[in-house]
Structure 1
């Protein structure tokens, strides 16, 4: 006779489903314990107690993220799309409605931080992306330093300039910033966290020791900003120096300059967090957007959108704006929320396959997703000029052209451009790396009247070329097109035999 309990059926009861859920939960419980044991084992191999504590603190933060990932995985927690609403007028304020401010009275309470964790590999460069030359022989870092130095001199203030590096960029960046030691600027750097990559099958950390090869670790996205600022001591240092506000942006966004109107609005509205958003175009359909979710303003990223609602998310009718990642944050609020351990941004699961074929998981968070934790948080719909990222050589083509001029490190659009919109530029794979890009232009063409440019294949430009309207240049496989010096191409399609056709 069997001693096993019998299952009673009540019509809604599915024993197989239940046992599958129990099995799944048990498996995730085992995974959490196994991960904890591995992290503890690694920590205990560090002899120096100060280094061990720092490593343990970092791994504790990683473990919290890992257990949240396991919980979300077991619950299959998904966004309730029915609760996703357009933001209310109070949740997004147009920039033009802000009061004009010429007074620098709040500048001494401000610090400026650039997210500097990325490498220039996608553009074919070695080292930190911020070290790529973008205009007149100046790098992203040079331009940022020049802006802050000018601000400090013009208003006789002391706005510190902070770089959040990753372990990929830290050493090289520290070497680079030495050259600014004679400048009127206080530069601070700190490192964001270093988390272990997770083997997708075993759910165990790839590294077996704290000194394992750097390919087995990863920087966990810019949502790590808050914990890293606290752990490094930078946050306490800024607060003790009387700083109250932090302006954060990506180091490759050349439009992210200090704005007195936004700073004053932050002070007067008592907002702890402001996110700069701008109107979406067809080029921005994958950018995160602000939504109203159960009365709270939240960031909705493309990774969170259910597949059946993807087209709706990409449309520019319901979701008209996107996040520029220019953020204004109250420093004391960061400290309060971190001390209360309330930061709980959505986990972004980044699946990767290594060269060895091993499948790994990286768990990341986005800094903008923290908007839900701050009081009076809202968006500011800013002009497109405040979003000028250089993610590719197509972007580099724009910022090195006569479309812009340089003014104290700030790119200013040429007033001779009739429409204050940026042309759509698509350069093919032959232009993808910076070195190849530079070798294909004797000089960057004049594009003041350009609307659209597409270039594919082996194409080279002579000096003094002018492009207007829509220009499409296609060199077929095996052929090469040389655009002669001082050519004017206006609404032209240029094909392999260099015949100019009206378009």
Structure 2
């Protein structure tokens, strides 16, 4: 930390000194959080290089980004499988609120299918795994201060389930006021919006600081599978786990082939002899279009990560995980603030024998908006008794239909009220809906469909309608 401080300008050094005394008096957060925050700000002020030298970027080989099909299959021996699974912990990132979809609590409690939430499905999946192999894979939920209280209440409903559930909080950092570089809570704002969780890169120190990491290591656990709680495709994969244990890989990022919808997603590169995550924020302006091209950068990060617990312990203790800082400007009550964040995927370069695995697209099924909810609630997917969301084999096209719903559908409650039942979309290529549109029951959509209600007019698609390759602007077009 002192080395970084040495590169500060006198003005920045003074800013930092004042900030330290402000932060020292914040009694809402722990000493670990205070030092973690000051560390991050110090690195930010010292202007650590965020850009990469474009000419040094190399495409990773199959040894670095391993094709999924080349992974050895796991022997059918239940005792061997149990041994593998007893080394595993599943950790879901549960710090996000469903605010973009109009929900107030944790996003993981949005109902996805058959009245079951993301969390219900996750618990069912791990219960089934434990029952099938007689193992004890625990579930960890990393909450933020935004989701902590609600999650504790929600988790009570699984009290009788045959699965150990642990929760811990990621760090809570004060937002920085841009104008004078002071913490927002020091200026009289004591509400929740004066604070922020510093991105999922914080999973590693928080796992250690919460005491959970030491507890897991003492139980003989070796690997943690980390994934977003809203990714329905992020299920335990024995082939990946087996490969990592055999090859002593400390870190594995699941990547998948990029489509035009994913052009902004981070990608894996080989850089100065190491595998590294390249995010769009690090790309020099003149190379952004190249970064977005599907030809040159063919894969992107799903944020499904497998990490060795001993390695996390070693690197956190050495304070070696200095991931790229992501500055995220916001506004609170008209005050411009800055929050500094890190991403867990950027930690890949600090681990030994780190790899990517190029997985099938089915392992990336996130629900970020109601358009994604439409996909997973439709006949494009079915739900198994084990809690897995499985794609309908009747769908010939390997890609999902592209769905673009207008603002009237943005909130989950509005979305659900506008569909009597979710239409059949197995043969749909694309759907674009704008205006005051309402769907009846038993509708079938095929090919390319555009439905645009005229301003101020309510447009109802009747029960049982079959709409194929059509543009609908009024009842006469149906």
Q: TM-score, normalised by structure 1?
A: 0.90
The residue number in structure 1 matching 2:390 is 412
Native 8 Å contact 2:72 2:239 kept in 1: yes
The residue number in structure 2 matching 1:306 is 284
The residue number in structure 2 matching 1:55 is 30
1:43-82 superposed matches below 5 A: 43=27, 55-72=30-47, 78-82=51-55
1:34-433 superposed matches below 5 A: 34-43=18-27, 55-72=30-47, 78-101=51-74, 102-103=76-77, 104=81, 105-208=83-186, 212-354=190-332, 356-407=333-384, 408-433=386-411
**Structure 1 pair 196/468, CA: closer, same or farther in 2 (3 Å)?**
same
The residue number in structure 1 matching 2:17 is 33
SS in 1 for 2:367: coil
SS in 2 for 1:389: coil
1:431-450 superposed matches below 5 A: 431-450=409-428
SS in 2 for 1:375: coil
Native 8 Å contact 1:141 1:251 kept in 2: yes
SS in 2 for 1:353: strand
Native 8 Å contact 1:195 1:219 kept in 2: yes
Once the 2 structures are TM-superposed, how far is the Cα of residue 26 of structure 1 from its aligned partner? 1.2
Structure 1 Cα separation of the partners of residues 361 and 306 of structure 2: 17
Structure 1 Cα separation of the partners of residues 68 and 50 of structure 2: 36
**Structure 1 pair 412/61, CA: closer, same or farther in 2 (3 Å)?**
same
**Unmatched 5+ stretches in structure 2:** 1-5
Native 8 Å contact 2:102 2:411 kept in 1: yes
The residue number in structure 1 matching 2:3 is none
The Cα RMSD (Å) is 1.7
**Structure 1 pair 234/136, CA: closer, same or farther in 2 (3 Å)?**
same
Native 8 Å contact 1:413 1:420 kept in 2: no
Structure 2 Cα separation of the partners of residues 396 and 159 of structure 1: 28
Deviations 1:175-215 (CA, angstroms, capped at 9, x unpaired): 00011011110000000000000011111111129992211
Once the 2 structures are TM-superposed, how far is the Cα of residue 76 of structure 1 from its aligned partner? 6.3
**Structure 1 pair 118/498, CA: closer, same or farther in 2 (3 Å)?**
farther
SS in 2 for 1:396: helix
- How many residues are paired up? 467
Once the 2 structures are TM-superposed, how far is the Cα of residue 106 of structure 1 from its aligned partner? 0.4
Deviations 1:90-147 (CA, angstroms, capped at 9, x unpaired): 2101101111114413001100000000001100011100111010000010000000
Native 8 Å contact 1:445 1:467 kept in 2: yes
Structure 2 Cα separation of the partners of residues 271 and 24 of structure 1: 37
Native 8 Å contact 2:8 2:46 kept in 1: no
The residue number in structure 1 matching 2:469 is 491
Structure 1 Cα separation of the partners of residues 318 and 7 of structure 2: 34
Native 8 Å contact 2:460 2:475 kept in 1: no
**Unmatched 5+ stretches in structure 1:** 1-21, 47-53
Native 8 Å contact 1:42 1:210 kept in 2: no
Moved over 2 A (4+): 75-79, 209-212
Native 8 Å contact 2:140 2:166 kept in 1: yes
**Structure 1 pair 209/358, CA: closer, same or farther in 2 (3 Å)?**
closer
Q: TM-score, normalised by structure 2?
A: 0.95
Structure 2 Cα separation of the partners of residues 210 and 183 of structure 1: 44
Once the 2 structures are TM-superposed, how far is the Cα of residue 305 of structure 1 from its aligned partner? 1.6
The residue number in structure 2 matching 1:452 is 430
